[in-house]
Structure 1
């Protein structure tokens, strides 16, 4: 089958790889000059199945109000005259119940755990490297109240048999010696030894090169204007290279996915949630993180990527703005220097922002649509890197008439009907 994939981020490239692996002829189209140059470019670097959680949960509305009042706030809201923004917020609030949180976290962990295993298989089969480490994730708590409220997460981790360790301060420092200088600021932590880290951009670029060697065609510097529909099928993609046709089409355009299919009658509940990162050269390896440390107070991930430290976080609702705001950088720098003082060259750090494609329930949209030959693999939010390989493998199975290895029906767009 001839397949066109729209988007060459980590999700689109992973989809291309797994579709090509089962014998399909695949073409990937992207407006950028190469793969992984937008939201996949400088994310926090975590492959964190155990930390896969929806942002919508019990108590989140009240927490969001408190976050807005913080100096180094993890959440920023710019109200806009945009019906899409307000509708998305309303849908997210509907998911702020215990029942919805348990349901959403359960399916996110299921897909993320599977994706981590698929990534490990890919690494073993191909030898691909991307500043990867398999040394777990540590979520650190600065207050006893934070530590006391991890029961709901532990219950889901137990349900899916995800290994974890609840640590005291000494245990956190044993796992991450670089935290020794911040001993008095930490009351405990949750360690997820099965989590991994790695540079999503390196991975995307190298997997794209491997896919090209196996026959996948990449059309970069190509503007995608519209999908053309006749009856119940897509007949082509109108691009700056002309009309391109295939037997089936996969939409992996992240935050730009809804606009591409709105004229076709599809309503994708995806909204951009802006995230920021800094990447600092390591000055003192002994003070740097071993893997990833999640700073629960500021919702920031601090990750070791080779000779660099990547610090990523912040949720900013600001439409499609990609402006770099100095206060967001200050928050990232504060978390790094507060926990790992002297580890990185902060003044030399590069500053980046990207638009995470977030669904109201946190779960990506993977699978069929009501249009017979149009498939979705989008809406992964902050977890595109974590879920990319699993999502690509599930989609390839669905499109090839195979039964995926995990339950997938609740990942499809139909769950919103």
Structure 2
């Protein structure tokens, strides 16, 4: 089967890889000059199944008000006159209940755990490297209230048999010695030994090169203008390089997915949530993190990537704006210098922003649509890197007529009544 994949980020490239491995003839189209140049470029670097949780949850509406008042706030909201934003916010509020949170987190953990295992298999089979480490992640709590509040997530971890450790202050420092000077600022932590870290951009570029050698065609610098349809089938994709045709089509355009299929009558509940990151060279390895630290107060991840530290976080609702805002940099700098003082060259760090494609329930949209030959693999939010390999494998199985290794029926767009 000839397959056209729209999007060359980590999700599009993993989709192409597993489709090619299943024997399909695959072409990837992307407007960028290389793979992984959008949201996959400088994300937080975490492969964190254990921390896979929806943003919508009990108490989040009230917490978000408090976050907006913080000096270093993890949530920023620009009330734009965009009907898609307000509809998405309403759908998210509908998911801020305990039953919805449990259901959504269960879906996310299921897919993320599977994806981590698929990534491990890929690493063993191909030898792919990407500044990867398999040394777990540690969520640090600055208050007892935060530590007590972890009980809800721990219950889900138990349900899905995800290994975890609740650590006191000394145990946190033992797991991450770089926290020694900041130990008095934390009360404890939640460690997930099965989580990993790695550079998503390096991974995407390397896997794209491997896929090309395996026969996948990549059409870069090619803008997608519109998807063409006739009745219940897609007949082609109009691009800046002409009309491209295939037997089946995969949409993996992240935050840009809804706009592309809206003319087809598909209303994908995906909205861009802007994130920021700093990438700084390590100046004192003994003071740097060993793996990933999640600073619960500021919702920021601090990750070791080879000889660099990646600091990523912030949820900013600002439409498709790519503006780099100084206050967001200040928040990232505050978190890393407060916990890992003098570990890296923070003043010389590269500042970046990307648009994370978020669904109201946190779960990506994977699988069939109302068009018989159009498939979706999009809407991964902050977890595209965590879920990429599993999502690509599940999609390839669905398109190949093979039953995926995990339950997948509740991952498709039909859960939104479409």
Q: How far off is 1:151 after superposition?
A: 1.1
**Aligned-partner SS, 1:111:** helix
Q: Deviations over 1:236-263 (max 9, x none)?
A: 0001110100000000000000000000
Number of residue pairs the alignment of both structures matches: 417
**What residue ranges of structure 1 are gaps of 5+ in the alignment?**
none
Q: Within 2, Cα distance between the matches of 1:183 and 1:20?
A: 49
**Aligned-partner SS, 2:51:** coil
Q: How far off is 1:311 after superposition?
A: 0.1
Q: Within 1, Cα distance between the matches of 2:56 and 2:240?
A: 39
Q: Does 1:54 align with 2:54?
A: yes
The aligned counterpart of 1:198 is: 198
Alignment of 1:243-392 (within 5 A): 243-392=243-392
Q: Within 1, Cα distance between the matches of 2:98 and 2:81?
A: 31
Q: Does 1:220 align with 2:220?
A: yes
Q: How far off is 1:27 after superposition?
A: 0.1
**Aligned-partner SS, 2:129:** coil
Q: How far off is 1:279 after superposition?
A: 0.3
**Aligned-partner SS, 2:178:** helix
Q: Does 1:18 align with 2:18?
A: yes
Q: Within 2, Cα distance between the matches of 1:140 and 1:390?
A: 27
**Aligned-partner SS, 1:352:** strand
The aligned counterpart of 2:177 is: 177
Q: How far off is 1:184 after superposition?
A: 0.7
Q: How far off is 1:152 after superposition?
A: 1.1
- Give TM-score scaled by structure 1 length: 1.00
Q: How far off is 1:356 after superposition?
A: 0.1
**Aligned-partner SS, 1:342:** coil
Alignment of 1:113-128 (within 5 A): 113-128=113-128
**Aligned-partner SS, 2:238:** strand
**What residue ranges of structure 2 are gaps of 5+ in the alignment?**
none
The ranges of structure 1 where at least 4 consecutive aligned residues each deviate by more than 4 angstroms after the TM superposition are none
Q: Within 2, Cα distance between the matches of 1:148 and 1:133?
A: 29
Q: Within 2, Cα distance between the matches of 1:65 and 1:206?
A: 42
The aligned counterpart of 2:70 is: 70
The aligned counterpart of 2:107 is: 107
Q: Within 1, Cα distance between the matches of 2:190 and 2:154?
A: 9
Q: Within 1, Cα distance between the matches of 2:67 and 2:58?
A: 15
The aligned counterpart of 2:143 is: 143
- Give TM-score scaled by structure 2 length: 1.00
The aligned counterpart of 2:94 is: 94
Q: How far off is 1:366 after superposition?
A: 0.3
Q: Within 2, Cα distance between the matches of 1:68 and 1:274?
A: 15
Q: How far off is 1:6 after superposition?
A: 0.2
**Aligned-partner SS, 1:50:** helix
Q: How far off is 1:166 after superposition?
A: 0.2
User: Aligned-pair RMSD on alpha carbons?
Assistant: 0.3
Q: How far off is 1:135 after superposition?
A: 0.2
Q: How far off is 1:150 after superposition?
A: 1.0
The aligned counterpart of 1:416 is: 416
